[in-house]
């Protein structure tokens, strides 16, 4: 089955063609990120205007790149859509102006070319990047961790049909913590890759310097599966002010602080995910979302699984599939073909992650 998927929940405009939920034929992403870099964060109005500009060229490019082949019954494809069996689209959560562009485009396509339509929850779908282009498919039961700019959520997956929400952040998401603290460090937007790059500089010189800066690991020892990252931002402000008073706020201190921010966030994510994995005795851990692209996070997961001698398979997608794209939307739709009439499909910026 060939699925054309559309994703427009935030500042990326994405379309992909995926076969049977696994094989990516094309995966096109256009982003208005360069514009948001100038303002240090996403301006929803600008993101929506750019979605409108990008949506059709991105879909056309995805269809052309997929090179839908003529077959014996239809030697010459009449339109770019002939070979597509189903259209999938993100319905939420996300920015309403951005979501509406994708949802209305998908509805229009479904109506005009008479193809079935599936609406997809962006957060659940992030996990399905682990089913793409991989010979090593995750086994059930699995713990799923979604770590993105707006979400930090833990799920228990006992099958494709059974995805149970276990816990999540009570305030800022992990990606948001990276973004907000990066801004305090003067590192710009998006914060995750910037903090990570700064932290690597400290790691390189780590043999010479001991990191004197210590930040809290919020909720690391709480018995539940919840997170809280907003206190980290306050702790970082306090640390910067202290260093400034002591006239020690310089590039070296910034790099040390970046290192400690990354250590704090990744320590908590690994600890809570393993806690859930042991609690539910799972076969796999599957991770998705922009923060899953963090190299230190991957490193720490591998280390912790080895140290605890757990028999758990860890699945983390390659970085390009961690951040927003439409390929995982297609994969999720393949495994959850809950078709909806175009008349009923709605964008929902607050689409809940609890099912």
Determine if residue 247 is left, alpha or beta; phi over 0 gives left, psi from -120 to 50 gives alpha, anything else beta. Answer: left
When the beta carbons of 267 and 324 are compared against Zn ion, the nearer one is 324
Cβ-Cβ contacts under 8 Å for 110 (sequence gap 6 or more): 87, 116, 117, 342
Nearest one of 34, 47, 37 to 7, comparing CA atoms: 47
Which one of residues 26, 27, 148, 152 is an interface residue with Zn ion (CB under 5 A)? 148
| Inter-axis angle of helices 251-279 and 191-205, nearest 10 | 110
Give residue for tokens 């390659």: 318
By CB under 6 A, residue 185 contacts ligand KG4: no
Question: Per-residue x/- marks for Zn ion, 323-342, CB under 5 A?
Answer: -x------------------
Q: How would you classify the pairing of strands 142-147 and 152-157?
A: antiparallel
Residue pair 217/266 in contact by the 8 Å Cβ criterion:
no
CB of 192 to ligand KG4, least distance (A): 2
When the beta carbons of 148 and 264 are compared against Zn ion, the nearer one is 148
**The dihedral sign for the CA sequence 10, 16, 21, 24:** negative
Known binder of ligand: residue 150? Answer: yes
When the beta carbons of 97 and 192 are compared against ligand KG4, the nearer one is 192
Q: Round to whole Å and give the CA distance between 296 and 226.
A: 21
In the list Zn ion, ligand KG4, none, the entry touching 179 (Cβ below 5 to 8 angstroms by class) is ligand KG4
By CB under 5 A, residue 91 contacts Zn ion: no
Question: Per-residue x/- marks for Zn ion, 289-328, CB under 5 A?
Answer: -----------------------------------x----
When the beta carbons of 86 and 129 are compared against ligand KG4, the nearer one is 129
Binding site for substrate, by residue number, is 146-150, 179, 192, 294
Binding residues, as ranges, are 122, 126, 146-150, 179, 192, 294, 324
């Amino acid at each position: 089955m060939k699925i054309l998927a559309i994703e427009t929940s935030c500042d990326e405009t994405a379309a992909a063609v995926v076969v049977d939920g696994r094989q990516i034929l094309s995966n096109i992403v256009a982003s208005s990120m360069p514009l948001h870099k100038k303002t240090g964060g996403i301006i929803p109005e600008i993101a929506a205007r750019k979605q409108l500009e990008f949506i059709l060229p991105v879909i056309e490019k995805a269809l052309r790149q997929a090179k839908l082949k003529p077959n014996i019954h239809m030697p010459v494809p009449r339109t770019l859509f002939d070979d597509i069996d189903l259209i999938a689209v993100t319905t939420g959560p996300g920015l309403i102006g951005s979501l509406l562009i994708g949802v209305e485009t998908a509805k229009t396509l479904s109506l005009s070319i008479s193809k079935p339509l599936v609406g997809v929850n962006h957060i659940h779908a992030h996990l399905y990047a682990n089913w793409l282009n991989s010979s090593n498919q995750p086994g059930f039961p699995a713990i799923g961790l979604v770590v993105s700019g707006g979400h930090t959520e833990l799920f228990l997956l006992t099958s494709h049909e059974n995805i149970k929400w276990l816990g999540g952040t009570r305030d800022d998401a992990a990606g948001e913590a990276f973004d907000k603290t990066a801004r305090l460090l003067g590192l710009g937007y998006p914060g995750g890759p910037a903090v990570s790059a700064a932290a690597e500089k400290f790691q390189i010189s780590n043999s010479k310097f001991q990191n004197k800066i210590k930040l809290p690991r919020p909720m690391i020892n709480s018995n539940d599966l919840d997170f809280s990252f907003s206190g980290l931002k306050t702790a970082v402000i306090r640390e910067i002010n202290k260093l400034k008073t002591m006239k020690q706020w310089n590039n070296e201190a910034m790099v040390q602080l970046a290192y400690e921010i990354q250590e704090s966030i990744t320590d908590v994510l690994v600890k809570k995910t393993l806690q859930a994995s042991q609690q539910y005795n799972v076969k796999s851990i599957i991770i998705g979302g922009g923060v899953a692209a963090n190299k230190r996070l991957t490193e720490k997961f591998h280390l912790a699984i080895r140290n605890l001698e757990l028999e758990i398979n860890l699945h983390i997608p390659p970085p390009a599939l961690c951040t927003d794209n439409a390929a995982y939307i297609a994969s999720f739709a393949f495994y959850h073909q809950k078709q909806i009439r175009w008349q009923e499909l709605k964008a929902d910026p607050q689409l809940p992650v609890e099912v």
